[in-house]
Structure 1
Amino acid sequence: MKAFQVTAPYDYAITDVDRPVAAPGEVLVRVAYAGICGSDMHIIHGDNAFVRFPRITGHEFAGVIDAVGEGVDGIAVGDRVCVDPVVNCGHCYPCRVGRPNVCTDMEVVGVHRNGGFEEVVNIPAANAHRLPEHLGLDAAALVEPYTIAANVLDRMQPVSGDRLLIFGAGVIGLTILQMAQALGIEDITVTDVLEARLATARELGATRTFNGQQQDVEAEVETLTQGEGMPLIADAACVPALLPQMLRIASAAGRIGLLGFNPTPSDLVQLEVIKKELTLVGSRLNNRKFPEVIELMATGRLDTQGLVSHRIALADMPEAIEMLDHQPEKARKVLIDIGA
């Protein structure tokens, strides 16, 4: 069968691989659609410290159950599913306190074990989530990025009337925008330096946008909030140098959600954190957010089609990677049609 495999940094191809076997407790998923994520690009670039090569990447995908391993109940061949990529041990401290997404022995599908850019993939049965009949497999392949948004917003603990500022209008910024709307946040500002991305944010319902190259974001926030500052700030730009600005424009008692894996140190002015009693929270992957997001998609409260800019066959995936490497401004979410 065919798969997109990364053998080493910048060394990738569509290749023939053996069909996996469903071990006890596992299922095989015949993949229909899979999305390319920024973290897939980090693996290709050699910037992911967790991956071991060769690796079939892809952690955003949906498909149909093709086989069921020994001891699996509650799911059957033919069921339509999407896949939570977080495989946790269930025993370490984070797992014991309900934070399996930071399990100390975690495996991520598409990083530590083979993922969805192949025709058939084996996964733990517990990670397969059955889909409502009217939810398309193309939309379901995008559940995972929306769970990233759901997780960071949950970590930030919004309250009624909170304003939200999102740094970055790439895919994650746009999913945070839509998820925040679905959760009832009404005043949402998005800032970026690319006008095309800001236009998409406005199309998807952002209250306003600021272009960081053309406007003074701090001054704009000062005017907008009459000096109070922003109670919620989500860092979907993932640029460490922006943290000092976030600290300055956060309101007293504000919450800042950080998503980036960039190892570059950030300047943190402790005075800003303490005098305002700010809360800085990291957010990694998702903590059991799949049912919530599936429900929001099924009820039409998330615009998945507004997120997709390209649909590409698996055979053409190397060309899509080249585009994302050299012309990323042309793309939002690139969806790979693998076929069920």
Structure 2
Amino acid sequence: MKALVLTGTEQMEIQEIPDQPLKNNEIKIKMKYAGICGTDKHLFKGLPGSAQANPPVILGHENSGVISELGPNVKSGLQVGDRVTIDPNIPCGYCSYCHDNKPQLCENMEAVGVTRDGGMAEYVYVPETNVYKIPDSLSFKEAAMAEPVSCMIHALKQVDIKTHHTVLVVGDGFLGQLYIQYLANRGVKKVDVSNRNSKKIDQLKKLGATNVIHHDEIKEKYDIVIECVGVTKTQERAVSSARRGGQVLMFGVANPDDVIQISSYDIFFNELTIKGAFINPHSMNEAIQLLTNKSLLDIEPLLSHEFTLEEVPDFLAGNINEKITKAVINLEA
């Protein structure tokens, strides 16, 4: 099969990969679409995502496709021809975190497109436990976004957002835009967003942003602050933008070596809650339903660019200078 293989730091090449026999409880999926995530950029640069990727490996953890073959002892009821999306995260099931129903913290986590071959290929091989059937009304392009949407759903479970709260979303990228649209459609009183690009103001307001504020001009304090950038300056700003009793959600993926400086007295005196949110446990079915419903989240207009496998290395290297909200790979192009 044709695949785009990460062969080293900032090195990728198209290769012909031989088919492999299906293992017990494994499913072979003909890929239709794969999303390109900020995590893929980290992995391309040799940094860890949900785990460390060790080349050679095929990236791609936001996937959709059609089941082409079932391995031995598949028990899920899935059939050849079913339209599906994939949860990339494979917890071990036996470590202390898995036993405590915290699979996202698994000590032995594998991940499709990170520690094992993913969806930037004609086919992907996945445990049946990680394959989710999708309705005919959901396009493959949208279904590939079930994983990032499931991450958002899990993250929002870490904070207590009421409709009378004020929310600041720090960052106007794809995930920031998901939060804006979803919370605004949920009827949250105020959903402001901080950004640096004045050209995005109209777009962000159409999604439901109450106010669009430059990063350096935030003066208000908020009940909820959601950090979607993952750099030290915006993380520190997120904490300082929370009002007394406020909650700060750290969602952006930071460089592992980054360290932020925050006032411990402010955390104490203001009774701040600072929560992290890692991957997407128990959230895929909700994500599929949310994508299908569209009343709270209409994702397809945010998918701004389609690439072929051959174009992906240039995109990950930053050589495509276009206004890209979210890029996907059309595996049939």
Counterpart selection for 2:164 from 161, 177, 189: 161
Query: Shift of the alpha carbon at 1:93?
Result: 2.3
SS in 1 for 2:245: strand
| Stretch moving more, 85-94 or 1-10 | 85-94
* Aligned partner of residue 292 in structure 1, secondary structure: helix
TM-score using structure 2 length: 0.93
Specify the alignment match of 2:117 in structure 1: 114
C-alpha displacement at 1:36, in angstroms?
0.6
| Cα deviation digits, residues 87-135 of structure 1 (max 9, x gap) | 0011222222222112111111111111110110101101111001111
User: Which range moves more in the overlay, 189-198 or 127-136?
Assistant: 189-198
| Residue matched to 2:32 | 32
Aligned length: 327
Q: Does 1:92 align with 2:87?
A: no
Matches within 5 A, 1:195-234: 195-213=198-216, 216-217=217-218, 219=219, 221=220, 229-234=221-226
Give 3-state SS (helix, strand or coil) of 2:300's partner: coil
Q: Residues 319 and 242 from structure 1, CA distance in 2 versus in 1: closer, same or farther, beyond 3 angstroms?
A: closer
Once the two structures are superposed, the pairs formed by residues 1-340 of structure 1 within 5 Å of their partners are: 1-48=1-48, 50-73=52-75, 74-213=77-216, 216-217=217-218, 219=219, 221=220, 229-259=221-251, 260-262=253-255, 263-301=257-295, 302-322=297-317, 325-327=318-320, 330-339=323-332
Q: What is the root-mean-square deviation in Å for CA atoms of aligned residues?
A: 1.8
Q: Aligned in 2, Cα 1:20/1:330: closer, same or farther, shift over 3 Å? A: farther
Which blocks of at least 5 consecutive residues in structure 1 are unaligned?
A: 222-228
For residue 246 of structure 2, what is the amino acid of its counterpart?
Answer: G
User: Bigger CA drift: 190-199 or 167-176?
Assistant: 190-199
Rounded Cα–Cα distance in structure 2 between residues aligned with 1:81 and 1:43:
25
Letter in 2 for 1:108: A
Kept in 1: contact 2:92–2:109 (CA 8 A): yes
C-alpha displacement of 1:179: 3.0
SS at match of 2:316: helix
Is the 2:170–2:238 contact (alpha carbons within 8 Å) kept by the matching residues of 1?
no
> Which amino acid in structure 2 is aligned with residue 194 of structure 1?
N
| Segments of 4+ moved more than 6 angstroms | none
**Identity in percent:** 29
Supply the distance in 1 between the matched residues of 2:169 and 2:315 (Cα, whole angstroms). 27
Equivalent-residue separation in structure 2 for 1:326 and 1:151 (angstroms): 33
CA offset digits 1:234-261 (Å, max 9, x no partner): 1101112233332322122211111223
Distance (whole Å) between structure 2 residues aligned to residue 181 and residue 27 of structure 1: 38
Structure 1 stretch 86-95 or stretch 241-250: which is displaced more?
241-250
Structure 1 residue 200: deviation in Å?
A: 2.8
Tell me how far apart the structure 1 counterparts of residues 322 and 20 of structure 2 sit (CA, whole Å): 36
Distance in 1 of aligned mates of 2:285 and 2:105: 19
TM-score scaled by length of structure 1: 0.91
Structure 1 residue 183: Cα displacement:
4.2
Cα distance between partner residues in 2 of 1:197 and 1:92 = 45
Q: Distance in 1 between matches of 2:72 and 2:136?
A: 26
> 1: CA distance between counterparts of 2:260 and 2:294?
39
Measure the CA separation in 2 of the matches of 1:16 and 1:186. Answer: 53
Higher mean alpha-carbon deviation, 159-168 vs 128-137, is at 159-168
Structure 2 SS opposite 1:176: helix
8 Å CA contact 2:154, 2:280 repeated in 1: yes
1:186 Cα offset (Å): 4.1
Structure 2 gaps, min length 5: none
Q: Secondary structure at the match of 2:179?
A: helix
Structure 1 residue 288 displacement after superposition: 1.5
Cα offset for 1:153? 1.2
CA distances 1:44-95 after superposition (whole Å, capped 9, x unpaired): 1112261111110010010001111111121111111100111001122222
C-alpha displacement of 1:24:
0.4
Counterpart of 1:53 in structure 2: which amino acid? P
Task: Measure, in 1, the Cα distance between the counterparts of 2:210 and 2:242.
Answer: 18
